[in-house]
Amino acid sequence: MKKYILALDQGTTSSRAILFNREGNIIGTSQSEFTQIYPKSGWVEHDAMEIWGTQSGAARQVLDTIGIKTNEIAAIGITNQRETTIIWDRYTGRPIYNAIVWQCRRTADICEELIEKGWQEIITKKTGLIIDAYFSATKIKWILDNVKDARVKAERGDLCFGTVDSWLIWNLTRGKVHVTDYSNASRTMLYNINELKWDEEILAELDIPISMLPEVKPSSHIYGYTDPETFDGVQIPISGDAGDQHAALFGQGCFEPGMAKNTYGTGCFMLMNTGEKPVKSNNGLITTIAWGINNKVEYALEGSIFNAGSSIQWLRDELKLIYDAAQSEYYANLVEDTNGVYMVPAFTGLGAPYWDMYARGAILGLTRGSKREHIVRATLESIAYQVKDVLQAMEEDSGIKLKDLNVDGGASANNFLMKFQADILGVPVNRPKVLETTALGAAYLAGLAVGFWNDQGEISNKSSIETTFIDCMDEEKREKLYAGWLNAVKKAME
């Protein structure tokens, strides 16, 4: 009998392969960081071949390390950094340009032009999104306009576009399958989330041929099988596909409207399930497809924060204030407060609820007494403040006051951050036993499609809380600290 589901979690900073058993427990993990390419200020790229290499390598390694045979795997689930744009040649399978990463700001001027031409309202109505360089659409246009012969080839039907999930499925099946799922399609700014189809009017405006787009499928569905040469002659069904934040929502068991989660990775993303109807935001959030399953599509409201864990990497790699991410907790705890220092990590602009493509990072309130500890602490606190900005918007839009917040993702391992988060929000924060809820969500989606698990009822019982961080800051202090943050953001935007 097949005993395991293999989840491939292709994140912004690393490719992970995680093996789950029927109880939803982790049996093995393998992880490989890959190169971040910054060709110019505000530009971010990845090498698409390195993405595939590290991801397939991680899959191979997790099986070898724990000695599991490929024929024991019931299915593969894929989850991925969203919006990141890859265009490859249909015949050679080679990318024609580096992957343009979701954080990349190079297409801000294309976005400006669209806004000036009056497209904001139309785009929001059709796609649920706010015009921003974050989404795939303008990245595709940039590649077609800037890479030699790209447009001619695209018009001839020689090129494929995909978000990272499409790229992985294409490679796993050796070029037989070119698909994506509803959740990933809804991040392109080309997909009509009401009519569930690629939007020809937006495609025409951006001059993107529809022939290069993948077929859009449910998030739990057999898309194809691994090519025998990839996995020891075994054909494993690839049967789960969702953007990482959607997979985390699923992995946290947020199946009912009003249920929400917040993931702390490179960025930070809060999603609330809004059920079978898209809810429009009046407070700077976006509307997205949560997933497609059981012949229906469900929607979510999302607050996207562009820089969270990335700011901790910046402390480590650029400022060299810490050796590793976990050490940030140690330094933050050495001081009582930030001594008036605020850090705004707008390295690649600001996402929800501000949507400012041109804001840049800032450290404010420095004095002669400011120390490493204060800057490290201010950086961790900035993550929590950004989450407060988004939570307030979400409560306004949904009319639901959250009683507590379910969290996950790499940086949620930081106890200082989680405690400060609870304090600054004024609600308890629940951290689950399995922090890898993104991979778990992809595993669930894959397992449901092949009957490894029977239904969502069976899996919603599996998630359990490891720690609840209780809020105990008094209201006056909370308001004072938050007012300082809002002032710092204003200055970063100026």
Ligand X SMILES: O=P(O)(O)OC[C@H](O)CO
Ligand Y SMILES: Nc1ncnc2c1ncn2[C@@H]1O[C@H](COP(=O)(O)OP(=O)(O)O)[C@@H](O)[C@H]1O
Residues 20-79 that bind ligand Y (CB under 6 A): none
Our finding on whether 54 is near ligand X (CB under 6 A) is: no
Instruction: Answer yes or no: is 82 a known binding residue.
Output: yes
The total of other beta-carbon atoms located within 10 Å of residue 278's CB is 18
How far apart (Å, rounded) are the C-alpha atoms in residues 100 and 98? 6
* Nearer to ligand X (CB atom), residue 81 or residue 437: 81
How far apart (Å, rounded) are the C-alpha atoms in residues 432 and 425? 19
- By DSSP bridging, strand 296-305 and strand 215-217 are unpaired
How far apart (Å, rounded) are the C-alpha atoms in residues 244 and 440? 10
What does 325 bind: ligand Y, ligand X, none (CB cut-off 5 to 8 Å by kind)?
ligand Y
Instruction: Answer yes or no: is 263 a known binding residue.
Output: no
Interface residue with ligand X among 16, 46, 82, 261 (CB under 6 A) is 82
Which residue type occupies 469?
F
* x-or-dash string of contact with ligand Y, 289-318, rule CB under 6 A: --------------------xx-xx-----
Identify whether the C-beta of residue 278 lies closer than 8 Å to the C-beta of residue 298: no
What does 418 bind: ligand Y, ligand X, none (CB cut-off 5 to 8 Å by kind)?
none
What does 102 bind: ligand Y, ligand X, none (CB cut-off 5 to 8 Å by kind)?
ligand X
Interface residue with ligand Y among 5, 11, 75, 348 (CB under 6 A) is 11
Instruction: Answer yes or no: is 83 a known binding residue.
Output: yes
Interface residue with ligand X among 5, 6, 8, 12 (CB under 6 A) is 12
Q: Least Å distance between CB 101 and ligand X? A: 9
Our finding on whether 321 is near ligand Y (CB under 6 A) is: no
How far apart (Å, rounded) are the C-alpha atoms in residues 253 and 408? 12
Q: Least Å distance between CB 124 and ligand X? A: 18
Q: Least Å distance between CB 479 and ligand X? A: 30
DSSP 85: B
- Total binding residues for ligand Y by CB under 6 A? 19
Our finding on whether 351 is near ligand X (CB under 6 A) is: no
Residue range at the interface with ligand X (CB under 6 A); choices 81-89, 416-424, 428-436, 453-461? 81-89
| Cα–Cα distances in angstroms (integers) from residue 17 to residues 47, 163, 175, 386, 460, in the given order | 19, 18, 21, 30, 22
Identify whether the C-beta of residue 360 lies closer than 8 Å to the C-beta of residue 346: yes
* Residue 109: partners with Cβ closer than 8 Å, 6 or more residues away: none
The alpha carbon torsion through 277, 283, 289, 295 (nearest 10 deg) reads -10
Our finding on whether 83 is near ligand X (CB under 6 A) is: yes
Our finding on whether 366 is near ligand Y (CB under 6 A) is: no
**CA 63 remoteness from chain centre:** 26
* Residue owning tokens 């493509």: 357
C-alpha torsion sign, points 256, 257, 259, 261: positive
* x-or-dash string of contact with ligand Y, 380-419, rule CB under 6 A: -----------------------------xxx-xx-----
Beta bridge partners of 243: 80
How far apart (Å, rounded) are the C-alpha atoms in residues 379 and 85? 29
- Total binding residues for ligand X by CB under 6 A? 12
Q: What are phi and psi of 330, to 5 degrees?
A: -60, -50
What does 245 bind: ligand X, ligand Y, none (CB cut-off 5 to 8 Å by kind)?
ligand X
Interface positions with ligand Y (CB under 6 A): 11-14, 265-266, 309-310, 312-313, 325-326, 328-329, 409-411, 413-414
List residues forming the annotated binding site: 12-14, 16, 82-83, 134, 244-245, 266, 309, 313, 410, 414
Interface positions with ligand X (CB under 6 A): 11-12, 81-83, 102, 243-245, 265-267
